[in-house]
Amino acid sequence: MITIPSRGRVAVAAGLLLVTSFLLAQGPNTNLGNNVPVRPASPSSGGPGPGDITLDVNLVNLDVVVVDKGGNPIGGMEKRHFKVFDDNVEQQISNFTAVESPLTVVVLVEFTQFGLYISNIYQSIGGFVATLRDDDWAALVSYDIRSNLVTDFTKNKNRIFEGLKSLKNPTTSETGLFDAVVDTLQKLDKVDGKKAIFLMCTGLDTISRNTYSEALKKAQSSDTMIYGISMSQLYKLYYGNRMSQEANIELLAADNQLMQLANATGGTTFLPRFDSEYPAIYEAMSHQLRNQYNLAFIPSNQKKDGKFHKLRVVVEDLDVNKDGKKDGLKAHARQGYYAPKS
């Protein structure tokens, strides 16, 4: 019978923890590294540049992806096609840009015994890395009990491929997803421009210091989009009827948490069942990351109370492909921000 470790089954993983404690004590640097690609702010008329999502006293800046009902990103939209609501109060959009800029991406991979069941899982990740362009920055981080830097930020895709090849023989089934997400988002807080986390995982967390609520709060306050790919469907397909009902429920809950983390940042979660689905997913992710609109507004509520403000971006539904029918356009953006606290 296949079972999944949880906080209530610490004894099951005790032996693995003893084994990994020695390895982790002398393991790789747990930070993302020193080669952080901090870019100067883009020139503008007094505000952050395109791709920046920054909150100061006066301005809220956010990236928006527009997709049709098939999930295809839509370009060519204008300022007049958008409305922004802050706690259900419509705001006046002060800045609008639609530019394609370089990406800074962290490929964050769950490296546990749950990922070992698919022999080509890391080869599949290479499909996304292959979509990166020459001016994009990327780093590779794996995590189990804690995050481990595999490849520091680089523009050389071959270094990322080499890092993927080095991920062999995980030693534990314990996973600290929430810690890994919080740590990575904190590191990316220092980076300007368009940023994303490519997160491939089961969505399970068994040992993090941070709770799910804390990870979600960090995602809500971040200017980095999370794009998640869940391995849970492939896991279920592989083990089939050998999985317990409890394990199925845990995986369903894990998928929901992963989706909430991604949605909070304006990103997306994919739930593939077969390896053949990966190419289309990577193409969709690449197109969404490249085709973004940057909107900015000055909040009508200027209270410095440190409270969370819910954001909602609405895009006018249009007949983009000129077939006589509206295309079901939707805007994906951050779900909110935290006001400064005086």
**Helices 121-129 and 278-290: crossing angle, nearest 10°?**
30
- Give the rounded percent of residues in the chain with a pLDDT score beyond 90: 45
Distance, C-alpha 108 to centroid of its chain: 9
C-alpha torsion 124→126→131→136, nearest 10 = 140
pLDDT digits (tens, 9 = 90+) for 302-341: 888 888 999 999 999 999 888 889 999 999 998 888 888 8
pLDDT digits (tens, 9 = 90+) for 191-200: 888 899 999 9
H or E element at residue 135: none
Flag whether pLDDT at 209 surpasses 80: yes
Tokens read off for 156: 């050389």
- Helix ranges (DSSP H) in 53-145: 121-129
CB 108 within 8 A of CB 92: no
The pLDDT of residue 36: 55
Tokens read off for 91: 């705001």
The pLDDT of residue 12: 28
**Helices 212-220 and 177-188: crossing angle, nearest 10°?**
20
- Tell me the three state secondary structure of residue 310: strand
CA separation for the pair 68, 72 (Å, rounded) = 5
Per-residue DSSP letters for 181-209? HHHHHHHHTT--SEEEEEEEE----SS-S
pLDDT digits (tens, 9 = 90+) for 150-184: 999 999 999 999 998 888 888 888 999 999 999 99
Tokens read off for 326: 């509206």
CB 46 within 8 A of CB 171: no
